[in-house]
């Protein structure tokens, strides 16, 4: 749930997603779900010459499992908050396993 909440704080920000087939897509993050499936608007495919079949695509639904990286705007990430949330999540997990 940690990254689900994290991505929800980043909605309406511009992110770049690299897929496991090496395609890189930049767009506005519109929504995320629990599987980290992602909806992107105003899509722009980097290295479009390699992937001309994507030139007409305006918005996308990306299945979470095909994502390799999401490149985030650092200025929009509250690092302190994220680290605290991580520690809390880790403590929770440890509590469950007990």
> What residue ranges bind another protein (CB under 8 A)?
2-3, 6, 36, 64-65, 67-74, 77, 79, 82-83, 85-87, 89-91, 93-94, 97-98
C-beta of 21 vs 65, nearer to another protein: 65
Q: What is the DSSP string of 43-55?
A: EEETTGGG-GGGT
Longest dimension (CA), the chain: 53
Q: Which is nearer to another protein, 33 or 58 (CB)?
A: 33
Q: Which is nearer to another protein, 49 or 94 (CB)?
A: 94
Residue 52 Cβ, how far from another protein at the closest point, in Å? 23
Query: Rounded CA gap, 54 and 30, in Å?
Result: 19
Taking the complex as a whole, how short is the minimal distance between the CB of residue 40 and another protein, in angstroms?
A: 14
- The CA R_g of the chain, rounded to the nearest whole Å, is 15
- The residue behind tokens 């994502």 is 67
């Amino acid at each position: 749930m940690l990254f689900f909440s994290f991505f929800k704080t980043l909605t309406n920000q511009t992110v770049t997603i690299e897929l496991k087939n090496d395609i890189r897509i930049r767009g506005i993050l519109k929504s995320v779900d629990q599987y980290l499936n992602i909806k992107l608007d105003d899509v722009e495919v980097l290295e479009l010459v390699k992937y001309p079949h994507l030139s007409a695509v305006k918005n996308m639904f990306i299945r979470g499992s095909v994502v390799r990286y999401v490149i985030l705007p650092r200025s929009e990430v509250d690092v302190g908050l994220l680290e605290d949330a991580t520690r809390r999540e880790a403590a929770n997990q440890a509590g469950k396993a007990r």
